[in-house]
């Protein structure tokens, strides 16, 4: 699920500040500590092969985040795709992969344990590659 900045409902609109608030933006129930993460990825980076060996060969951690700049395509388990671009807020439920359509900077907030396991798996795959 993505929400472009201009589509986030305005909660407070005063001369000195505007606060936008998007309710019901994913569910973190039953997850422990959260991690804050910043990624910089080059155009063409595709995580699909690096996720092979995980359940359904996909990332099974949910993420809440923001695309600072660039563009990503997220592919879900049902083969649907979502385009997330600079300025978009997003929620990626478990069961996805990601590729960079442009050089991209993005921020994630993820369950520390679950995404830590995915990152460890990716690191191992990178170490094994020639």
Could you read off the pLDDT tens digit of each residue along the chain, which spans 130 residues?
A: 788 888 888 998 888 888 888 888 888 888 888 999 999 999 999 999 999 999 999 999 999 999 999 999 999 999 999 999 999 999 999 999 999 999 999 999 999 999 999 999 999 998 998 7
The dihedrals phi and psi of 92, each to the nearest 5 degrees, come to -110, 115
Is the sign of the CA dihedral 10, 1, 99, 93 positive or negative? Answer: positive
**Residue 127, C-beta contacts closer than 8 angstroms, at least 6 positions apart:** none
CATH no. of 2-128: 2.60.120.10
* Residue 47 · residue 99 · CB < 8 Å: yes
The dihedrals phi and psi of 6, each to the nearest 5 degrees, come to -70, -10
**Residue 16, C-beta contacts closer than 8 angstroms, at least 6 positions apart:** none
Domain positions in the chain are 2-128
Is the sign of the CA dihedral 17, 23, 73, 126 positive or negative? Answer: positive
- Number of residues written out for the chain: 130
Coil vs helix vs strand at 124: helix
């Amino acid at each position: 699920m993505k929400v472009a900045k201009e589509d986030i409902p305005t909660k407070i609109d005063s001369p000195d500040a505007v606060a936008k608030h998007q309710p019901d933006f994913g569910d973190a129930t039953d997850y422990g500590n959260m991690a804050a993460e910043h990624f910089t990825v080059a155009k063409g980076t595709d995580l699909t092969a690096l996720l092979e060996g995980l359940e359904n060969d996909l990332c099974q951690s949910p993420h809440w985040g923001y695309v600072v700049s660039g563009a990503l395509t997220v592919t879900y388990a049902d083969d649907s795709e979502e385009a997330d671009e600079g300025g978009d807020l997003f929620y990626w439920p478990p069961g996805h992969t990601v590729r960079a359509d442009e050089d991209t900077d993005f921020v994630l907030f993820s369950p520390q344990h679950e995404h830590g396991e995915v990152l460890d798996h990716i690191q191992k795959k990178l170490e094994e590659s020639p």
